[in-house]
C-alpha cells in the first residue's frame, strides 16, 4: 500500500502498471457497493454463480447507466482486495466501505440495498453465519432492516 491510499504493484521491467484498488474512503458508489456485495459473497469462502448473478441484477438496478465492463473490473478488484485480508482487516474494510456507502448514496438507494443484500445471501441456498455477520454490520451502519429467509 502506498501512502495509505491505493495498492500498486509494478515490476522493474514491467511496461504496464497493475490495477490500482481504491481504499473505501476513495471509492465511487459503484465500487463501494460492489466491495460490500463481494464481501458477502466470499464470507463463506466461495462465490457461487447464483451470487454473482444476484450481484449483476443489483448493480443493474442501482446503477443502470453503468457499463458492465466497469462493473466487472470493480468486481474483480473487490475479490482480490478482500481475499488478501485476514478476518480483522476484512472487518475494518467492510466497516469503512459501509461508511462510504452511507456518505455517497441517497436514502432511497440505501433502502433498496437491503433486499439486494438479502438476495445475495440467499442466492446459493445456504445462509452462513459469516454472511449474517456482514448483514448485521450493514443493518447497523446503513440504518436498514434486511429480511433473510433462513
Full-model pTM: 0.83
pLDDT by residue (tens digit) across 94-114? 999 999 999 999 999 999 999
Q: Which fold has domain 27-142?
A: TerB-like (1.10.3680)
pLDDT by residue (tens digit) across 115-143? 999 999 998 888 889 999 999 999 999 99
Specify the higher pLDDT residue, 20 or 112.
112
Ramachandran sector of residue 17 (left: φ over 0; alpha: ψ -120 to 50; beta: rest): beta
Amino acid at each position: 500500500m502506498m501512502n495509505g491510499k491505493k495498492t500498486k504493484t509494478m515490476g522493474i521491467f514491467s511496461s504496464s502498471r497493475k490495477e490500482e484498488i481504491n481504499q473505501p474512503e476513495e471509492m465511487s458508489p459503484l465500487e463501494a457497493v460492489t466491495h460490500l456485495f463481494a464481501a458477502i459473497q466470499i464470507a463463506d469462502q466461495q462465490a457461487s454463480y447464483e451470487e454473482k448473478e444476484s450481484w449483476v441484477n443489483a448493480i443493474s438496478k442501482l446503477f443502470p447507466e453503468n457499463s458492465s465492463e466497469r462493473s466487472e473490473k470493480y468486481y474483480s478488484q473487490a475479490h482480490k482486495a478482500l481475499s488478501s485480508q485476514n478476518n480483522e482487516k476484512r472487518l475494518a474494510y467492510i466497516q469503512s466501505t459501509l461508511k462510504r456507502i452511507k456518505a455517497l448514496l441517497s436514502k432511497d438507494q440505501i433502502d433498496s440495498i437491503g433486499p439486494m443484500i438479502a438476495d445475495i445471501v440467499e442466492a446459493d441456498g445456504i445462509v452462513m453465519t459469516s454472511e449474517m455477520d456482514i448483514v448485521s454490520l450493514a443493518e447497523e451502519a446503513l440504518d436498514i432492516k434486511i429480511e433473510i429467509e433462513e
